[in-house]
């Protein structure tokens, strides 16, 4: 767990307090410039030291990739100041760890009994939620319900669309038929629409000129078989 190398080097230098250095390529945190870093204070100056100092925390946590790690180690071998910085960080870590570990109560101590009793006394009678150790089952059922509802909606929508298209188609046929010189005729729309056959309506059309338009009425009426239409030859 501790020794997992970190592959994510996408942070900006600002985010990590990493110095941006003139004359060096754009530096992202935990990415060490290939040449200058290992030179050290004696040969490379402060720039390399600043970069190493900015990466020491990640180095200490073993979160640098092997190449970066190697370069930092090469620098530390030559630069006593940066090596001392690393020692200081290690000392900070050990102090913190000791501080936090020492302040924790021991399980066997008398102090520990009291908080435990307090916790048990503060608990509600039962856990708020019922056991849900089969989340997949519940989840899949819910998903199926959503899916079937959606499917039913889609089917209903297309049925309506289809029937309205058929009605419109019938209307168009009737309009054309009525506009022809021959008397008002039924179109044979009932042949195209099986749904229409099931409906308890009959179609009555009247070619009433109204603003130069022909209106078709669909009226509710007792069940009556529509008359067999005779389509004029011009319509075929």
Q: Is 5 helix (H, G, I), strand (E, B) or coil?
A: coil
Residue 108 binds other proteins, judged by CB under 8 A: no
Min dist. Cβ of residue 169 to other proteins (A): 55
- Smaller CB separation from other proteins, 118 or 228: 118
User: Is residue 187 within 8 Å of 231, Cβ to Cβ?
Assistant: yes
Supply the angle between the helices 66-78 and 46-60 in degrees, to the nearest 10.
130
Min dist. Cβ of residue 142 to other proteins (A): 15
Based on its alpha-carbon atoms, the radius of gyration of the chain, rounded to whole angstroms, reads 42
Min dist. Cβ of residue 190 to other proteins (A): 58
- Smaller CB separation from other proteins, 60 or 180: 60
Query: 207: closest CA among 198, 192, 220, 217?
Result: 217
Min dist. Cβ of residue 32 to other proteins (A): 14
As given in the structure block, the two tokens for residue 235 are 């319509």
User: Is residue 18 within 8 Å of 51, Cβ to Cβ?
Assistant: yes
Residue 51 binds other proteins, judged by CB under 8 A: no
Q: Evaluate the CA torsion angle 149, 155, 158, 160 in order and state its sign.
A: negative
Residue 84 binds other proteins, judged by CB under 8 A: yes
Number of other residues whose CB lies within 10 A of the CB of residue 83: 16
Backbone φ, ψ for residue 207 (5° rounding): -85, 80
| Binding pattern for the stretch 8-27 against other proteins, x by CB under 8 A and - elsewhere | x-xxx--xxx----------
Residue 225 binds other proteins, judged by CB under 8 A: no
Cα 207 from Cα 214, distance rounded (Å): 6
Residue 110 binds other proteins, judged by CB under 8 A: no
Min dist. Cβ of residue 199 to other proteins (A): 52
Which contiguous run of DSSP H or E holds residue 189? Answer: helix 189-192
Stretch of residues binding other proteins (CB under 8 A), selected from 38-46, 83-91, 194-202, 218-226: 83-91
- Smaller CB separation from other proteins, 21 or 207: 21
Residue 95 binds other proteins, judged by CB under 8 A: yes
The residue count of the chain comes to 236
Q: Contact positions toward other proteins, by CB under 8 A?
A: 1-2, 4, 6, 8, 10-12, 15-17, 29-30, 54, 57-58, 61, 63, 84-85, 87-89, 91-93, 95-97, 99-107, 112, 115-116, 118-120, 122-124, 126-133, 135
């Amino acid at each position: 767990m501790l020794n997992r190398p970190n592959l994510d080097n996408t942070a900006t230098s600002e985010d990590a307090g990493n110095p941006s250095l003139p004359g060096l390529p754009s530096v992202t945190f935990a990415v060490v410039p290939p040449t200058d870093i290992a030179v050290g204070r004696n040969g490379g100056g402060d720039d390399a030291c600043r970069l190493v100092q900015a990466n020491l925390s990640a180095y200490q946590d073993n979160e640098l990739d092997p190449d970066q790690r190697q370069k930092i180690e090469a620098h530390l071998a030559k630069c006593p100041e940066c090596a001392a910085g690393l020692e200081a960080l290690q000392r900070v870590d050990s102090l913190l760890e000791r501080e936090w570990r020492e302040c924790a109560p021991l399980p066997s101590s008398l102090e520990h009994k009291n908080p435990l009793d307090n916790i048990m006394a503060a608990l509600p009678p039962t856990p708020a939620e019922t056991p849900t150790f089969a989340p997949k089952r519940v989840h899949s059922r819910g998903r199926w319900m959503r899916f079937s509802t959606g499917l039913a909606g889609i089917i209903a929508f297309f049925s309506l669309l289809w029937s309205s298209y058929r009605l419109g188609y019938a209307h168009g046929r009737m309009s054309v038929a009525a506009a022809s010189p021959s008397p008002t005729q039924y179109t044979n729309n009932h042949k195209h629409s099986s749904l229409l056959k099931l409906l308890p309506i009959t179609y009555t059309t009247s070619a009433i000129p109204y603003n130069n338009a022909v209106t078709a009425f669909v009226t509710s009426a007792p069940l009556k078989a529509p008359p067999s239409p005779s389509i004029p030859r011009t319509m075929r």
